[in-house]
Homo-oligomer: A and B are copies of this chain.
Amino acid sequence: MRFIGTQEIEDIAVGAALLGTGGGGDPYIGKLMAQQAINDNGPVELVTTDEINEEDVFVPTSMMGAPTVLVEKPPSGEESIRTFKELEKRLGTNIAATFPIEAGGINSMLPFVLAARLGLPVVDVDGMGRAFPEIQMTTFYLDGISATPMAIADEKGNLSLFETINNRWTERLSRSATVEMGGSTIVASYSMVGKQLKKSGVKNILHLEEKIGEVIRKTKHNTIDELLELTKGFQLFSGKIIDIERETRKGFTRGNVIIEGLLQNRGKDMKIQFQNEYLIAETNSNVLCVTPDLIAVLDSETGEPITTEGLKYGARCIVIGIPCDDKWRTDIGIQTCGPTYFGYDIKYQEVEKLNSNN
């Protein structure tokens, strides 16, 4: 157990945005929200899964919807509290602690905002080890844990609760409610006991995010090399953004970005397709990284991660690929969030294999 203050938040937000693979929200807004909550209420207790009680109930808090929308209407923090009170009433028990559902500039931060305000600990675990766009895309789902009862709230004061027959229905119903509620909502879902969280979560993810943030903040010259070492990743491409197609539709930010190669990649283009998160990175000739492996786009100068809504014409960037958690590299994992699920006619291959010559 240790305490997370505003400096730790600074690093975790940046590392989370990197592992958020373009989704999960802007780290700047997430950071400000968490730092404000910690300034108001004091540091937040961070516990490992080894330190939690197996019978206690744990619930993640997260944002659902298009990050492009969230930037325009950041949550107040009240939404999370209302969803937690609703689930506690529903479950007939207190929630012992919260944790992030996924990595991401916003979604790794919201648990700290809520924890600071309610005086709860945060558990160092998440349900993806990255970010994904749909409710059922969690390592909890792979182990049969239901996302419902699920409470969602908007900033206006509306609240919906869902009890569904499976997580696909949860996704459908909560997505359409999110669209109606203005494109982004705050969600409490996947309530589970400590024993389940230990078995099915991706552990020590906040620790990794903090290390990544620290490297980006401290390292001046060989940031990318240090990041690759820390994440066991690969540099996929280096270049300049020359085209962005992006639209917010049905509650998602969808599109693709074209990067023109510079330096060792001169003469090539890289195309990255995204749906909230970066999903496929390929050059004219080769697929280089495929979901569920992680794709991150980093600012060439600072190493800071660039989210899909932060992509800007002319920006110089480096694209890296990172192996996903092993839980995703199973048949059900690939079915749930491999390229076929997202509609791409590409077979999943591990980023290590696709880049074995690097």
Contact = CB atoms under 8 A, between A and B. Distances in A.
Interface of A: 86, 156-165, 169, 172-173, 176-177, 179-181
A161 B87 CA distance: 12
Given A173-B177, A177-B176, A161 B160 contact: yes
A86 B160 CA distance: 13
A169 B158 contact: yes
A165 B164 CA distance: 24
**Which 10 A-B pairs give the minimum distances between C-beta atoms?**
A161-B161, A157-B165, A159-B163, A176-B176, A158-B164, A176-B180, A158-B169, A172-B180, A160-B162, A173-B180
A179 B173 CA distance: 10
A158 B177 contact: no
Nearest to A153: B163
A337 to B, nearest CB: 22
Contact of A177 (B163, B165, B177): B177
30 contacts: A86-B163, A156-B165, A157-B164, A157-B165, A158-B162, A158-B163, A158-B164, A158-B165, A158-B169, A158-B173, A159-B162, A159-B163, A159-B164, A160-B161, A160-B162, A160-B163, A160-B173, A160-B177, A161-B161, A161-B162, A161-B163, A172-B180, A173-B177, A173-B180, A173-B181, A176-B176, A176-B177, A176-B179, A176-B180, A177-B177
Contacts of A161: 160-163
A149 to B, nearest CB: 9
Given A157-B164, A159-B163, A160-B161, 6 more contacts: A158-B163, A161-B161, A161-B163, A173-B181, A176-B176, A176-B177
